[in-house]
Structure 1
């Protein structure tokens, strides 16, 4: 049977960073990983990045959550992986708008009963967002908490942004909130696959109850395209002017004086630029509440 691990967590928490480090470790171990990625909206930014840099079998689901796009879609993509490639581990990264239990339930199809062994849920939580969770709208906060509540392994991520006192508070509160999960403090979502595998092999199956569905969340996405290169300082000033309800941005931004658009990522007020060595299409995806009216200056 092929082991399946589900990576969960809110928008911008660090799931893709975890995914990429797990893929690299699995390949070093001589294992054969494959990936199913779910993107919010119709643009495949994260899956493009993973597919180009990691050279692994990859299928993607666009336009919503695994639990919302229909089980037939999920089954078709998994069936495609199983028929087209040789693998011994499948890593599923859900969109940040997915309830982990519903996403996991979508994988439990009779078609795969004798092929897949679901090992559990690894959830990445943004530690600063946890400390300021009361600022989130009620529906979004509910999803954020449910993602954490149902984790089997819980990463308290971005601990490098916290003081020692804040770190102690986050660790204690997360442990109290989810009393069965291992809570691991991480930076850049660094956690070894060997640890995940060993930890989940000793845990009992969790209670898989459904509480909230991602399809009822007031999240939308907005695609921004660029007709010309932009000034980096002006672009970052625009980013900082956006409302707090913009939770995530990702895409390729054409900067003045550079050959190729830079990979740009934004989560919870923090920005990250990475150079690209091939020319990617210049486009940016915004995810949040009420983003449809936002325009680039």
Structure 2
């Protein structure tokens, strides 16, 4: 039977880093992974970032819907239509505001008999755990029924902070295994069982955030990327973009995490939707994005 693993966690916690690790590890062990990516806006950008590890035909992007409610039928239908593979395994990366408990409740119903019950892995940013203000409840929800919890961003914290976070996590999920990414061995996955924890239901509206995107012109330099990110308010918890820097032949990808840290790196290939700026978080509107781009270009 084929295993299904969902990867959940708050925006910027490190889900995609974990996903890349899992893809490489499963391939090395002789498995044939298929990846489903979900995001509010243009999940195809994230899908293309994985194409150096998997063929695009083994990656499915689901954009613009919440897979823990309105998008669950599309997700379940996608999983059920996957071709049977020798040593197949399906990996699902949920968007960073997913109601993880509802996702597992809905996904576990209506799957073909060739699939094992889904297993959930949660990624926890130890540095920012429960420092999300009004979104703390959502972050707690995302670890309650995870069979495995991966701790990330440990290089930013003391050992004491790590121990405090671990103790807090165990209050909400006493049965989940906690592990550092570098210690993760995928051969242990067959031992994981679906969580039987009793969960505290989340008001599902708290998992529904505004998001939007707009076309992004070529930028004069990488400084413009940092300027755009600085212009967008802190209420925007996730910023992503892909564009051409003047004088360069390849595309550049960038993202701003909820803590304000900006990362810039080469993009793998050419974005099929063209250059874009995308945001997730309260207050996301096309006019806000266009204003940030305009101000940035005027500073050149």
Q: TM-score range by the shorter chain?
A: 0.7 to 0.9
Structure 2 residue 283 is the aligned partner of structure 1 residue 290: yes
Find the residue that maps to 1:96 and give its secondary structure.
coil
Task: Give the C-alpha shift of residue 44 in structure 1.
Answer: 2.2
Name the structure 2 match of 1:153.
148
Cα distance per residue 1:112-153 (max 9 Å; x no partner): 1x11102521100112221523xx22xx32211100222221
Name the structure 1 match of 2:129.
130
CA contact (8 A) 1:99 1:143 kept: yes
User: 5+ residue gaps in structure 2?
Assistant: 296-300
CA distance in 1, matches of 2:96, 2:206: 14
Name the structure 2 match of 1:57.
58
Cα RMSD, aligned residues only: 2.5
User: 5+ residue gaps in structure 1?
Assistant: none
| Change in CA separation of 1:147 and 1:127 when aligned onto 2, cut-off 3 Å | same
Task: Give the C-alpha shift of residue 277 in structure 1.
Answer: 5.4
CA distance in 2, matches of 1:4, 1:204: 11
CA contact (8 A) 2:3 2:88 kept: yes
Find the residue that maps to 1:233 and give its secondary structure.
helix
CA distance in 1, matches of 2:119, 2:44: 25
Name the structure 2 match of 1:263.
253
Name the structure 2 match of 1:223.
213
Name the structure 2 match of 1:28.
28
CA distance in 2, matches of 1:250, 1:127: 22
Name the structure 2 match of 1:166.
161
**Aligned residue runs from structure 1 range 1-297, under 5 A:** 1-55=1-55, 57-82=58-83, 88-112=88-112, 114-130=113-129, 132-133=131-132, 136-137=133-134, 140-186=135-181, 191-195=184-188, 197-200=189-192, 203=193, 205-207=195-197, 209=199, 211-212=201-202, 214-268=204-258, 269-276=260-267, 278-280=269-271, 281-292=274-285, 293-295=287-289, 296=293, 297=295
CA distance in 2, matches of 1:36, 1:103: 14
| Change in CA separation of 1:69 and 1:41 when aligned onto 2, cut-off 3 Å | farther
TM-score (norm 2): 0.84
CA contact (8 A) 1:40 1:221 kept: yes
| Change in CA separation of 1:254 and 1:57 when aligned onto 2, cut-off 3 Å | same
| Change in CA separation of 1:245 and 1:108 when aligned onto 2, cut-off 3 Å | same
What is the count of residue pairs matched by the alignment?
A: 286
CA distance in 1, matches of 2:48, 2:268: 14
TM-score (norm 1): 0.85
CA contact (8 A) 1:7 1:93 kept: yes
| Change in CA separation of 1:212 and 1:64 when aligned onto 2, cut-off 3 Å | farther
Task: Give the C-alpha shift of residue 192 in structure 1.
Answer: 3.1
CA distance in 1, matches of 2:256, 2:173: 27
Cα distance per residue 1:61-85 (max 9 Å; x no partner): 22122122244312321122136x6
CA contact (8 A) 1:10 1:96 kept: yes
| Change in CA separation of 1:273 and 1:199 when aligned onto 2, cut-off 3 Å | farther
